Structure 1
Amino acid sequence: MLSLVAVSQPATLQATTLSVIATWLLFAAFLSLTAFIAARNLLGDVSLSPHAIVGPPVAAIAFLVATFEFSPLLGLLAALAVDAVAFRYIHGLNRRLLAGVVVIHFTVSVILGAILFSLIALIGSAPV
């Protein structure tokens, strides 16, 4: 009995680690896509690829806040600050445009996230 428990624990740990990494990658890709949408909305024709650097650190902040139970307000402020730094690095925006892009990115992420979550919940609750 002990050997089965010892063998199953690494597999469970490996599956949990893989699912956390996959969730973080999907969330980072989602945030990068919404960053592109926000920049395109305010700045016009922008390239998709530079916005790939926006999602991973913001997603990491969200994961750290949830894991270590930090203050959600501090997590939000940290995520917005990192978002602003990333957009300034990518586009070199002045403060006014930078604030606009960050607010639009936050808004698009919340709205699109709510829609996707609701759609997933709806599909998950559908009768078989």
Structure 2
Amino acid sequence: MSIRVTPLQSGTAGGSAVAVAGTFVSLALFLSLTAHIAARNVLGDVPVKYALVVGPVPAAVAVVVTTFGLNPLLGILLAVVLDGVAVQYLYGQSRGLTAYITFIHVVVSILLGTVLYGVLALWASAPG
């Protein structure tokens, strides 16, 4: 008895330009939201416009790494480092506080992403 495996994704570079742009924009907005939550958690009242600049940085790295089939661990490392650079440049904090904000951004992104994925998985599997 053989087990049939169906891939979830047939290829990484096969998407249309509209699909790639839509993925980038939705990921950038999600990461902007989580960046604002992280900065607000650490620094208090901060402008939203800074988070709207921070979010697209790791989103661009994710899209480029996926499109060109690069090493995902290298992509994650590069995204976190560039996220920290953007946070330090925009919020003007010390390196220690910048690292803390970046760490909180990563944690909030993972937690909120996991919850959203779970909700979407439950919604998709609901009887129709």
Output one character per residue of 1:48-92: Cα deviation in whole Å (capped at 9) or x when no partner.
Answer: 122111111211111122222211221111001110111011111
| 8 A Cα contact 2:20 2:63, kept in partner | no
Query: Which whole-Å CA distance do the structure 2 matches of 1:16 and 1:126 have between them?
Result: 29
Gaps of 5+ in 2: 1-14
> Which residue is equivalent to 2:47?
47
| 8 A Cα contact 2:50 2:91, kept in partner | no
Cα offset, 1:16, TM superposition = 2.8
CA RMSD of aligned residues (A): 1.3
> Which residue is equivalent to 2:74?
74
Which protein shows a greater Rg?
Answer: 1
Instruction: Tell me which moved more, 33-42 or 53-62.
Output: 53-62
- TM superposition outliers: structure 1 runs of 4+ over 4 Å: none
Output one character per residue of 1:25-61: Cα deviation in whole Å (capped at 9) or x when no partner.
Answer: 0110000110000000011111112211111121111
Which has more helix, going by share of residues?
1
Cα offset, 1:19, TM superposition = 2.2
Q: Structure 1 vs Structure 2: percent identity of aligned residues?
A: 46
> Which residue is equivalent to 2:124?
124
Q: Would you say how many aligned residue pairs link Structure 1 and Structure 2?
A: 114
